Amino acid sequence: MIKFVLQNPICHYTTIIMIPVLSNLIASVTGAAPTASGEFILNAFSDFTIILVVALVANRLAALFKIPDVILFLLAGVIIGPTIPFWTPIKQSSIGGQIMVIFGASYILFQGGLDLKLKTIMHYAWIIALLAIPGVLLSTFIVGGLAKIIFPVLPWAAALLMGVIIAPTDPATLIPILNQVKVKERLKVVIESESAFNDTTAAIIFITIVTILQGGEVSLSSAASGFILKLAVGFGIGAGLGMLGGVFISHRSLGIFRDAASIMTLPIAIGSYTLAERFGGSGYLAAFVAGIFLGNCRELMPGSFELEEGLNLEIFSMDLSLICRMMIFVILGSQIDFPAVKQYLLPGSILLAGFIFISRPAVVFGFFGLDRKKNWTIKEKIFLSWVRETGVMPAALAGSLASISINFPGQLGDVYNHFVQAIVFMAILATLLIQALSTPWLARKLGLTEKDVGEI
């Protein structure tokens, strides 16, 4: 399991004062002795409550100022992490933190898939595949080369590892932003689909490079077969459970859970992730594909499904997706290690400048040139070059380095780990606070919103 370590010690008044009081109260009523698990539960409840209250305020402010809510969720986490003394912050390395992040990211992907048309995805499958596979490879080599220039002492494999960690785009960020900024449908489909598929590519490259750094042998055929397996299993399980869910929700004769359609989205989304991971597939891809097939089941089999069902499903999925965004980005913001960011601010800024202004445009303009039949405009390419937020997956890959033994000479291993953590934190802050914040303005400026398209 990928872990992310928090380095932000806080004095917890809740643990010192409230927990003993509540535990003793429970014990006096029930006659049972206070337990460690009871303290864990109370801590978890207090964390969850504080996150939701703070995030609700941030959500209202985002609506008031008309900016993407994930930005204020992240800033809320940054603020409450070091400033609220009675909060016991959830670590992403804890069981509770992992559950929240994995569940949240899976459901956000699932909800994003619900809104996409399968025919449109298939129409743009070529460019999606180019961005998600060779696009990640190209970004890895460009950023890795810049990392090697900045830190010449790094082995090439370690520099490339830095590149692949920040290569994948973040669906947990992109999907809600594109739901708020109504851009052209084909832009939305390409951006969201790329973000769902490129996580798998990045994970395979990451594992391959780590194996090389550990002195192991990796063949191109084994890496390719592993990649194909993860894609095939994830896609197959997601498609199967998505269609199965559609049958039980909307089928004319088999729709036995029609009245519980909203609740059915939970086992479909989480079941897709779990089954795919257990059988060696990509869990996040499975959740995304499940949403696509559930959302398109009526179009795939129009004669067998009730066409009027689905309104309550959409409302419920959007509300739950909002809660997931709150949890993920408040937690993520509370874990940003500002001392590490400060320590590597200059080299990190240079690397990120290359990442934003060289790597992503090279990927977009390079591979979209191979898709000439779709007549992509220069404005669309500029927009796609700018919209590539960093979030959950890079943070998870960076955090996993703490539990991986890599053979570096001397103290280089510790320096490298801190450098990677700092770069990822800086990438999250920069892409959210600069790129995500400017996305609505850029879409309107380039005339790429649905309103602008309708006026043409």
Task: State the DSSP string of 345-382.
Answer: HHHHHHHHHHIIIIIHHHHHHHHHTT-GGG---HHHHH
What CATH number should be reported for the domain holding residue 365? 1.20.1530.20
State which of 55, 83, 111 marks the end of a domain: 83
**Which two tokens mark 118?**
């399968």
Q: Distance between CA atoms of 84 and 394, rounded to whole angstroms?
A: 27
CB-based contacts of 209: which residues, under 8 Å, 6+ apart?
Answer: 157, 160, 161, 164
Q: Are residues 27 and 122 in the same domain?
A: no
Long-range contacts of 77-80 (CB under 8 A, 24+ apart): 77/329, 77/330, 77/331, 77/332, 77/333, 77/334, 77/335, 77/336, 78/333, 78/334, 78/336, 79/333, 80/50, 80/54, 80/330, 80/334
**What angle, 0 to 180 degrees and rounded to 10, lies between the N-to-C axes of helices 95-114 and 171-180?**
40
Q: Distance between CA atoms of 276 and 195, rounded to whole angstroms?
A: 18
CB-based contacts of 352: which residues, under 8 Å, 6+ apart?
Answer: 423, 426, 427, 430
Q: Are residues 30 and 139 in the same domain?
A: no
**Assigned domain for 90 exists:** no
pLDDT of the residue at 384: 94
**Assigned domain for 1 exists:** no
Q: Are residues 180 and 309 in the same domain?
A: yes
Q: Are residues 46 and 129 in the same domain?
A: no
**Assigned domain for 7 exists:** no
User: Which domain range does residue 78 map to?
Assistant: 13-83
Q: Distance between CA atoms of 174 and 199, rounded to whole angstroms?
A: 13
pLDDT of the residue at 362: 95
Q: Are 238 and 287 in contact (CB under 8 A)?
A: yes
Q: How crowded is residue 3: how many other Cβ atoms within 10 Å of its Cβ?
A: 16
State which of 35, 55, 83 marks the end of a domain: 83
pLDDT of the residue at 455: 40
Alpha-carbon distances of 413 from 244, 404, 409, 419, 420, rounded to whole Å: 48, 11, 7, 10, 11
Residues found in the chain:
456
**Assigned domain for 5 exists:** no
* 258 secondary structure, DSSP code: G
**Which two tokens mark 331?**
């937690």
Q: Distance between CA atoms of 391 and 388, rounded to whole angstroms?
A: 10
Q: Are residues 215 and 186 in the same domain?
A: yes
R_g of the chain, CA atoms, integer Å: 22
Q: How crowded is residue 379: how many other Cβ atoms within 10 Å of its Cβ?
A: 14
**Assigned domain for 3 exists:** no
**Assigned domain for 89 exists:** no
Q: Distance between CA atoms of 385 and 388, rounded to whole angstroms?
A: 7
State which of 36, 55, 83 marks the end of a domain: 83
**Which two tokens mark 339?**
């001392």
Q: Are residues 146 and 42 in the same domain?
A: no
Q: Are 194 and 169 in contact (CB under 8 A)?
A: yes
**Assigned domain for 101 exists:** yes
**Assigned domain for 2 exists:** no
Alpha helices in 181-310 (DSSP H): 185-213, 220-250, 261-278, 283-300
pLDDT of the residue at 8: 40
Q: Are residues 394 and 335 in the same domain?
A: yes
Q: Distance between CA atoms of 329 and 73, rounded to whole angstroms?
A: 5
Q: Are residues 120 and 224 in the same domain?
A: yes
Which has the closest alpha carbon to 266: 323, 308, 328, 326? 323
Q: Are residues 215 and 338 in the same domain?
A: yes
CA 70, chain centre distance (Å): 12
Q: Are residues 37 and 150 in the same domain?
A: no
Q: Are residues 77 and 100 in the same domain?
A: no
pLDDT in tens, the chain (456 residues): 333 333 443 333 333 333 344 344 344 444 444 455 667 677 777 777 888 888 899 989 988 888 888 888 888 888 887 666 555 555 555 666 677 778 888 888 888 888 788 888 899 999 999 999 999 999 999 999 999 999 888 888 889 999 998 988 887 778 788 877 888 889 999 998 898 888 888 888 888 888 877 776 667 777 788 888 888 999 999 999 999 988 888 777 777 877 777 888 889 999 999 999 999 888 888 999 999 998 888 777 776 666 554 445 666 777 788 888 888 888 878 877 788 888 889 999 999 999 999 999 999 999 998 988 888 999 999 999 999 888 777 877 777 776 666 666 666 667 787 888 888 888 988 888 889 889 989 999 999 987 654 443
Number of domains in the chain: 2
Q: Are residues 108 and 236 in the same domain?
A: yes
